[in-house]
Chain A
Amino acid sequence: MHIAHYIPLFPFLAFVINIFIGRKLKIASAYVAVAASSLSFLFSLQVLNGFKSGLGSYNLGTWLTIAGKPLDFGIIVDPLTIMMLLIVTFIGTFILIYSIGYMHDDPRFSRFFAYISLFMASMLGLVLADNFILLLIFWEGVGLCSYLLIAFWYERPAAAQAGLKAFVTTRIGDTGFLIGMMILFFACGTFHFTDLKSVTGPESLLTLAAILIFTGAMGKSAQFPLHVWLPDAMEGPTAVSALIHAATMVAAGVYLVARCFPLFVAHPMALQTVAVIGGISALMAATIATVNNDIKRVLAYSTISQLGLMMLGLGVGGLSAGTFHLMTHAFFKALLFLCAGSVIHSIGTQDIQKMGGLISKMKITGVAFCIGTLALAGVPPFAGFWSKDEILLTAWNNHHPILFGVALLTSFLTAFYMARLIFLVLFGKARSEMHAHESPATMTVPLIVLSFFAALAGFIGSPLKEVEMAGGHEGSFFIMLISTLISLSGLGLAYLLYIRRVVLLPMSSIKALHSLLVNKYYIDEIYDALLIKPCLRLCQGAFGFDTKVVDGAVNGVANVTQYCSGVLRRTQTGLIQNYLLVQVFGVVILLIWLLKI
């Protein structure tokens, strides 16, 4: 029987409970949230079971009628959705358990769990929606939760600004998304995903619609040029970064493209756009990550880069490759963020230049960190290797040599900067005074579970193998070899630079490049000068107009009234003879009028 629509309901209930009586429940609010999300996970497993025995998408009823066509509430159940459901509920549950320890001393403890539950409800609703409108509702829901959670410690101005930046930037993407949706409806009259396979309409309009829908995905998945919000979003608690900005919300963009894949495939220019943007983001973010000194920001840029890789995978026609990488990335990126959180929790700083030699003091965290790094770097037999290999394979087989080269270069840089990260943080000598201790069990147990999956998830294989594009064959040995060599050489280079301290190039020769990378290609500054400052000036102009002209007019009316009343007040002299005079005058007028007519 159909139970999929209950899955978002449990976290939503947890949100309602925690919002209203969370303060009284204190630590029990966390248990409510964990219980809800585990329940959703169990239901997702049941949905998987049901799907294997034939239960598929179903309808929940008509919502409204647009232009004569009914718009339904519906649930879509297919391998992509099931994969997303399992990822979100599974990782979400463990991150909630982790947060019990991480957010232990926070005064707004229960509200954190309420927000995370709301996020999970929106995310689950997003992946279950079977039409654009319903998806958009939940899309906005996750955007809202992201804002709330980034700015969770809103007493810090940096956090509040980061939340605003995230919201506004994704909003820009959402506007494109909405316009794209409307153009799609205008061109072919449907909002449902299942109809996209058989859509016909004017080529240019549909391409435009697809590209605009992709801008929504660009905003949510932090692709160039809308990537600027994700590094700043690291101001939020690390558990938030792990869940939302690594595993799930940013994957919503990739999910959207995968969901609309038939539309993109039918219009090659849109698909090309996806691949190119993905490639640019992947390479750009990887280069910035090589010089960054904040542990969380390195991981943020890594996320942007890996999402770019996923988009690239989808863009070269590899639906199964891209979604496979989404799945594995969710596991190891969440793992890496949780490890980073564990490190930050025990040491108190995020600057990696101040860390070093932690592996001896934080064994579990250290080992988990290494496993995550190896998975991300794409070293076999860890999970990342398999998914990245599929992307490379698809790119090669579908004749995209440039994008293949970009993906390869990105893998090299990924291995390099991740190795740099662990060498600086975990190995070597301690570079400053630190009191490090291992984190409590509520934090280490999720680490262990996730590292287990990060290591072995690759063997599950792509969940969408059945829908793979024609023209790909199972694993070419040559490609596997190349990608392994690239990863290992990246690790080796980092080892040389950071452990052996071999100086390959003097600093002065690459100073310009270094400063370009450290300043993130000055993109934030360019946006500020080009977009933000003129917008602010426009706002100030409008404000001046409002106070001087609009308020002036309103005040002017009041002043005129007051002036008139002041003039008219003079008729009330209080002298009876004046009143009598007016009366006699009135009588005279009356007489003239009545008697002459």
Chain B
Amino acid sequence: MIPLGYFTFLSAFLFCVGIYGALTRRNVIGILISIELILNAANINLVAFNKYLGSPDGMGQVFSLFVIAIAAAASVVGLVLIIAIYRDRKALFTDGFTLMKE
């Protein structure tokens, strides 16, 4: 009853919001949050296709599980890095991280 397209629109919207956040947030944790949104958008897509097109072994949902796991691992490492940087610099604003300049 809900066409598959609607789920893809939702996924696209979440994806774009996530990208906007990744490009715009000054706090590094904000960037991580945006990345979570992106990953979730992908997940929604996977699950929706799995439901509508069907698959013998539930490929979409299994893939989704893996994505969740990897997202978790990524955020763990990211957050630890952030804490390490915070210890060193006492500030977390991306404007200040210009070591790659020139």
> Are A and B in contact, CB atoms below 8 Å, in the complex?
yes
Q: Which residues of A are at the interface with B, using a C-beta cutoff of 8 A?
A: 569, 572-577, 580-581, 584
CA distance A573 to B31 in the complex (A): 18
Are B94's CB and A574's CB within 8 A? Answer: no
Residues of B within 8 A of A574 (CB): 97-102
CA distance A10 to B95 in the complex (A): 84
Asked whether B22 is an interface residue with its Cβ less than 8 Å from the other chain, the reply is: yes
The closest CB in chain B to the CB of A581 belongs to B23
30 contacts between A and B (CB under 8 A): A569-B102, A572-B100, A572-B101, A572-B102, A573-B98, A573-B101, A574-B97, A574-B98, A574-B99, A574-B100, A574-B101, A574-B102, A575-B94, A575-B95, A575-B97, A575-B98, A575-B101, A576-B94, A576-B97, A576-B100, A577-B22, A577-B23, A577-B24, A577-B31, A577-B94, A580-B22, A580-B23, A581-B23, A584-B19, A584-B23
Classify the interface of chain A: helix, strand, loop or mixed: helix
The closest CB in chain B to the CB of A584 belongs to B19
Residues of A within 8 A of B101 (CB): 572-575
- Minimum Cβ distance to chain A for residue B35 (Å): 11
Q: Which residues of B are at the interface with A, using a C-beta cutoff of 8 A?
A: 19, 22-24, 31, 94-95, 97-102
Given contacts A573-B98, A574-B101, A575-B101, 12 further A-B contacts (CB under 8 A): A572-B101, A572-B102, A574-B99, A574-B100, A575-B97, A576-B97, A577-B24, A577-B31, A580-B22, A581-B23, A584-B19, A584-B23
Residues of B within 8 A of A573 (CB): 98, 101
Residues of A within 8 A of B97 (CB): 574-576
The closest CB in chain B to the CB of A573 belongs to B101
- Minimum Cβ distance to chain A for residue B13 (Å): 16
- Minimum Cβ distance to chain A for residue B102 (Å): 6
- Minimum Cβ distance to chain B for residue A591 (Å): 12
Residues of B within 8 A of A584 (CB): 19, 23
The closest CB in chain A to the CB of B24 belongs to A577
3 nearest A-B residue pairs (beta carbon): A574-B101, A574-B98, A574-B100
CA distance A8 to B93 in the complex (A): 89
CA distance A581 to B95 in the complex (A): 14
- Minimum Cβ distance to chain A for residue B27 (Å): 12
Residues of A within 8 A of B23 (CB): 577, 580-581, 584
CA distance A569 to B102 in the complex (A): 8
